[in-house]
Structure 1
């Protein structure tokens, strides 16, 4: 009983810490594309500019208490804020339940944190900052020396295969249509994903992102009636595919090998 209670408290603490980090990630998501300091000034309303009191800046809770509005000017607060906090807290909890306080927890939480930041920045600006993806490639490779999940050679292959695969697609698309299809940010993001997950994770991510991206893309094109000119960020689909691989990739591979191929 005591052990179960202690584990429950640990899970709660990890979730709350994840939510608090998610609150800080919201600052980065808002300010990084604008080239503003992520340290100063402190948290403030983007509409009226008034500083947010600490009791109005409690992750998830404050949004609910304030009914999604600023406490001063009563303007709507974007749903992104509690969404990022909740997603980050949930990912931290799921990783903790899988690994406990092992090095793999911190490596993979660093990875999913970068994915959360990149996803929401890409949704807002249709760009993926190099300041996140390029250091992420190095962190993924370094992390492979401290965890057993991905060997350093597998990480290196993931970088080369992931980035190289998308680079070839981008070159081919530009050659055929004489316009940019995949941005350089997507190429670097897939290289980062390969660094953390290895070559198999990079390939899984490409397949999953292409499938979900195509489904959503067709729906958006049909609704907007803009055809192939519709702008749709691909980074969020890559991030979703990478997270799916972290939690279910090996099971899906095993199912495919044994149930589909009969091996």
Structure 2
């Protein structure tokens, strides 16, 4: 039941994230005006604003002017729903369901940040910075509910450690990544370390591996050169999410390899 509820919640949140992705980088309100067609300006009717279903009903076009509606909108809604459901399942397996709100917030913010960074090469402070206190409060509530304060202390240490590591990288090689990546790193460190040290290590460094693989592949097919810069935020977020789900098997495989 929790997984199903998370799926439904995720699709609804994904609909809101579409607004966030479009408006936050442009410094527009995410509340007003209501969603409307960018071509004709007609407000979207409530029955057409249902996540995923609304786009299918409209067959991907505005009901008033017929302008095509990007398939990105239902894909964001569906992907967010599936991610929320997967996190609910994962945390249930880890007996950490009280921490689910914190990880759902992180997932929602991560989806928005990844897509904004891909499009505009920026990680807005308006999303990153508020995520620190929100995540801290939600993880604190989880620790209090479970009467176990060590994961919270580990999260604080992990956030500080990963932030310091990224800051050091920027000081050594300023052109390697942006300040937004540094600000994001502390958030990732907290949510990863709350689960385990191995999750922090794997999630913290998976972004570099993913970035290197994609960069080499892009050069191999002629889509990038040696001096081409790729937005690093999506790799950081993807690496963190992969670690949340697969840190255990990856850590076990690494130990076997080293032995």
The TM tier, using the shorter chain, reads 0.7 to 0.9
Give 3-state SS (helix, strand or coil) of 2:226's partner. helix
State yes or no: 1:254 paired with 2:252: yes
Aligned equivalents of 2:4, 2:137: Cα separation in 1: 29
Give 3-state SS (helix, strand or coil) of 1:227's partner. coil
Q: 1:153 to 1:13 in 2, by over 3 A?
A: closer
Which residue of the other structure, out of 109, 122, 144, is the alignment partner of 2:104? Answer: 109
Structure 1 equivalent of residue 160 of structure 2: 160
Task: Within 5 Å, give how 1:50-89 maps onto structure 2.
Answer: 50-89=42-81
Task: Tell me how many residue pairs correspond in the alignment.
Answer: 248
Aligned equivalents of 1:191, 1:236: Cα separation in 2: 15
- Cα drift, residue 23 of structure 1: 0.2
- Cα drift, residue 184 of structure 1: 0.5
- Cα drift, residue 225 of structure 1: 5.8
Q: 1:153 to 1:14 in 2, by over 3 A?
A: closer
Aligned equivalents of 1:73, 1:218: Cα separation in 2: 43
Structure 1 equivalent of residue 13 of structure 2: 21
Which residue of the other structure, out of 228, 237, 240, is the alignment partner of 1:230? Answer: 228
Aligned equivalents of 1:110, 1:225: Cα separation in 2: 34
Structure 2 equivalent of residue 208 of structure 1: 206
- Cα drift, residue 115 of structure 1: 0.8
Q: 1:221 to 1:48 in 2, by over 3 A?
A: farther
Which residue of the other structure, out of 35, 38, 43, is the alignment partner of 1:46? Answer: 38
State yes or no: 1:136 paired with 2:131: yes
TM-score between both structures, scaled by the size of structure 2? 0.86
Aligned equivalents of 2:177, 2:200: Cα separation in 1: 16
Q: 8 Å contact 1:158–1:200 — kept in the other structure? A: no
What do you get for the CA RMSD once the two structures are aligned?
A: 2.2
- Cα drift, residue 222 of structure 1: 4.3
Q: 1:69 to 1:102 in 2, by over 3 A?
A: same
Q: 8 Å contact 1:140–1:155 — kept in the other structure? A: no
Aligned equivalents of 1:189, 1:96: Cα separation in 2: 23
Q: 8 Å contact 1:119–1:236 — kept in the other structure? A: yes
Q: 8 Å contact 2:192–2:203 — kept in the other structure? A: no
Q: 8 Å contact 2:202–2:243 — kept in the other structure? A: yes
State yes or no: 1:92 paired with 2:89: no
TM-score between both structures, scaled by the size of structure 1? 0.85
- Cα drift, residue 218 of structure 1: 2.2
